[in-house]
Every structure is written in structure tokens, then in C-alpha cells.
Structure 1
Amino acid sequence: MSDSNPNPSRDCVVVTGASRGIGAAIAVALAQQGRHVACLSRSGALPAVPGVNEVLAARWIGLKADVTQAGDVAKACRQLADDGWRVTGLVNNAGVHVEAPSAELTLDTWNQMMDANATSVVTACQAVYPQLVAAGGGVIVNIGSFFDKLGVKRNLAYCASKAAVGAITRVLAVEWASKGIKVIDVAPGYIQTDLNADAMAPGGPLRAYLDKRIPGRQPGTAADVGALVATLFSPAGGFLTGETIYVDGGQGIAH
């Protein structure tokens, strides 16, 4: 990334789906690094994270954007530029998960999943590309899933969409490397967030299943994913690009 920016305090990282869950945790971790974060969501609300101090919250910029609408992220990026911000990174976190028997999966549901989880990654990357080039480079982190390598019943569209995220990551990493842009896929396993806390609670059927399948006998947290993503924006991730990093506590490889 270029060091020629005359005002690095006006740099920011765009995070989609940042109002809650993993996206909110990523926004916290990046702010803890001292970065400004453009927090995109359908509502435009700032991340809902209890106990965040005012110093961190002051680093967040709330913007409305529906990633399934191709022009929304581009519009948000133009607004940031008009307000004097320079985009130096992107985290494609927004997505949806819908289950259905494969034999009964409707084309509408298939398209919904692909649009939200894969096509949106392409359009958001395209939206920030000119600004990353102008900045001398940057980092794109795509949030995939460890389902990309598994055969999960009733998850045909979801698994396919997340496998597409890995492919998109690899192609863009190779194609945009000459512009100083790194692209990385972070693929979480079962992660406990405010959105699924009840299902993940000890004693429930899902938690009982995970206790058997995850070697460490507990799911990850949104903060685990946020901390890893933030690391990829630090010098520690300097020579890493094009890879998929699985954050699943070893579940995907456990026999």
C-alpha cells in the first residue's frame, strides 16, 4: 500500500453487514487498530456492540447500502470520497443463509443466495477497486464459510455460494496483485453471535452436536473472527493473498 497519502487519518475500511454479528465484531477490531470503518448495512445503523467506548465508536461511519443492489456499495464509496475519505480496504461480510431440500430448492431461493453471498462480493470489489488503485493498493477480505468444502444436507445454494467466494478471491488476488491489492477469504465455522446465542447456548441440541464435532468442544465467537480479519490489515498479513483461511476450531478436518 502506498505511503504517499497526505492525510492518513482520512483513510477508512469499508465493512458490509456491519450493524450486528460478525460484521460488528470486525468493525470493533479494526477500530481497535486505530482505523476508521465505514459500516454499511441496510439500516445504516452503527454496530450494535454493548460496552464499546466513545473513542472506538467515533471511528465508525454509518452508511446505508443493500449489497444485493449493485449500485449501493458504489454509491456509498462515492459518498465517502465526497466527504474526504480514502478507501484503503473492504470486508465483504454481508450475506444470508437459507436451508431447503435440494430437490425442492426453488430458482428464486438459489438466486437470492447467490446474489447475496457471491454476486455481491464481485460488485462490492468492483466498487472499491478504483479507490484502492488510487490509494496505491489495499486489502479485501471476503467472509466465506467452511461449508465451501463440505456436503451439507439442505444447504446446496449456501455451500455453492460460499465456494464461489473462494474462487472469486483467488481470481481477484492474482489479477489485482500488480495494483498492490491483496484479496483473502476468511471462512468461519460455527460462530456464536448475538443473532444465534440461544441456539448456541449450552444444553441445546445444536450445542450438543457441536460439542461432539468441534475438537475444542465449543463454537467460536464473533470476536475471534474480528481479530483475525484485523490481523490481515496489519503487516503480519503482508505476503498473504488468494488463500482461504478456515476459522472453525478444526471441525472441518476432524474425523
Structure 2
Amino acid sequence: MQFSGMSEMNEGCIIVTGASRGIGAAIAETLAREGFTVGCLSRSGDLPARDITSAEIHARFIAAACDVTDQASVKAAVDDVVRRADRPLVGLVNNAGLHREGPSDSLPVSEFEAVMTANATSVLIASQAAYPHLRETGEATIVNIGSFFDKLGVKRNAAYCASKAAVGAITRCVAVEWASEGIRVHNVAPGYIATDLNRDSLASGPLSQFLAKRIPTGGPGVAEDVAQLVRLLFTLSGRFMTGETLYLDGGQGMAL
């Protein structure tokens, strides 16, 4: 099925991993408000934890439980969402991830591998599961959620930084391989983003004071900032931009 315009694209389904809370939940809600059916994948299988009163928006959610590090689990969830949506899969947002830290001289290899699997291998697993469905549309988009840590040296974060750098590399490789199939692939790399999971730690104390001085725009972003950029990538027409990493960090990563 070939899509000729965004009005038709909005009639399709987009799958979001890690959609039950935080940035993933904000992305799911924003895409649903744009008119997409949204497959909400998470380990719990819960709907996005958002204050949504509209029954119309709720009706656009399809929740499914899966482990993004397990290939069979992800494939089953993706196929189930597509079947239940009864409309073409036009997009995938690889948002699910894990953050653990520790000193590089004693970081257990098992911890390093766990972060790499959750943050990077999962991107390939979900993209492979979605690929047959995305290819059928002739016009589809994958958005991976990376981090501006991919270009920084951050103490105690060797695993996380490496995993997010890998997300950028996977984005570029898949973008050039699947471009001929009409599939665009992008990497959104946020900086510090306040969510329900970390809002308190970012709102007060030494970290808050540091970020207020370090981020040129004055402090952390919010989940909706990421969600709106993701929405934009799904509503762009044309195929010529692909494989790019888009930094959303208030200028922190480039500031002296």
C-alpha cells in the first residue's frame, strides 16, 4: 500500500515501546492526538500513565505487554498490535531503555551488557519485527530515542553512553539499508528531560543548580518537548531526510 499524503498517514498505526510512562507515554498521547492509532508496548502492558479525559484519544491506544530484549516477545506484540489495529503500520518509536551507572574500573560486564541490550539491541529487535509491516506501506518512519550522552564523556556512564552511541550507529545503518523501501529512520537525542520519574531530583538541589547554569535555555526540558519533535518527524512530507541524529538538549551539548 502506497501513501500519498499525511492525511492518509494519520490513518495508520505507530508502535511506541516503553509507552506506559515518562517520555514514551507523552509520545503516545501526542501521536494519538495527531490522529494515529498507537500501539503502546511496555513490560507491564499498561496504557500510558497520562491525565487523558478524552474517550476518543483512549480509543486510539492499543496496549500490549512485551520484553523489548526478547525477539520472540517483541515480534508477537508487534504482530498482535497490527492485527488489532486493522490498519497499516506506518511507524515505530524505539523509546524503551535502561539507565544504570557505575565506575568504569569495576562496572560488572553483566551490567554493561544489560544496558547495551536494553538500549541498543532492543532497537534492532523492534525494528526487525516491524520491518515487514513498514515495508508494505511504502512510506514509513522509525524514530529511535537516543541521548546527547552519545557524544559526551560522562563519569560512571560508560555503559549508557556506549549504548546511546550505538543507537545513533544503528539509525544510520538501517536508514541507508531501508531507504529504498520507503522507510525513513531518525534518532532523537534528548538532554536532561524532567518526567514523573525524575522531576523531584531535577527541580531542587545541586543537580538543579548545576543544570540551570549549564543549559543555555535555563534548565531541563519536559517530556512534551520530545513528543512534539517526534510528532513533527511523523508529519514531515518527503523522503530526503533520513539517518540523522537530532539533539534536543537546550544547547547543553554544544555550550562551553
TM tier, smaller: over 0.9
Structure 1 gap segments, 5+ residues each: none
* Cα distance in 2, alignment partners of residues 9 and 180 from structure 1: 16
Of residues 61-70 and 82-91 in structure 1, the stretch that sits farther from structure 2 once superposed is 82-91
Does 2:193 match 1:197? no
Aligned to 1:184: 186
2:217 corresponds to which residue? 216
Displacement of 1:85: 3.6
* Residues 64 and 81 in structure 2, CA contact (< 8 A), matched pair in contact too: no
Residue 51 (structure 1) shift: 4.0
Deviation at 1:200, TM superposition (A): 1.1
Q: Residue 223 and residue 125 in structure 1: after superposition, are their counterparts in 2 closer, same or farther (change >3 A)?
A: same
Figure out how many residues of one structure are paired with residues of the other and give that number. Answer: 253
Structure 1 residue 20 displacement after superposition: 0.4
Q: Contact 1:14–1:90 (CA<8 Å) still a contact in 2?
A: yes
Q: How far is the alpha carbon of 1:10 from its aligned partner?
A: 6.2
1:2 maps to a residue whose letter is Q
* Alpha-carbon distance in 2 for matches of 1:230, 1:243: 16
Shift of 1:237: 6.8
User: Residue in 1 aligned with 2:64?
Assistant: 63
Q: For residues 82 and 54 of structure 1, do their structure 2 counterparts lie closer, same or farther at Cα, with a shift above 3 Å needed? A: closer
Q: 1: distance between equivalents of 2:226 and 2:49? A: 16
RMSD (Å) for aligned C-alpha atoms: 1.8
Which amino acid in structure 2 is aligned with residue 36 of structure 1?
T
- CA distance, structure 1, for counterparts of residue 11 and residue 233 of structure 2: 20
Superimposed CA distance per residue, residues 173-232 of structure 1 (whole angstroms, 9 cap, x where no aligned partner) = 11100000000000000000011011011x322111101110111100000000000100
Distance 2:233 2:239 in 1: 8
Is residue 2 from structure 1 mapped to residue 2 from structure 2 by the alignment?
Answer: yes
Q: Secondary structure at the match of 1:209?
A: helix
Query: What displacement does 1:102 show?
Result: 0.2
TM-score relative to the length of structure 1: 0.94
Whole-angstrom distance in 1 between the partners of 2:249 and 2:194: 11
The letter for the 1-side match of 2:137 is A
Q: Matched residue of 2:143: which SS?
A: strand
User: TM (normalized to structure 2)?
Assistant: 0.94
CA distance in 2, matches of 1:207, 1:171: 37
- Hey, what does 1:243 align to over in structure 2? 244
Secondary structure of the structure 1 residue equivalent to 2:247: strand
Q: How far, CA to CA, are the matches of 1:178 and 1:216 in structure 2?
A: 39
Distance of 2:13 and 2:122 partners within structure 1: 20
Distance in 2 between residues matched to 1:246 and 1:237, nearest whole Å:
21
One-letter amino acid matched to 1:214: I
Equivalent residue for 2:229? 228
Aligned pair in 2 of structure 1 residues 77, 170: CA closer, same or farther (>3 Å)?
same
1:125 to 113, 124, 127: 127
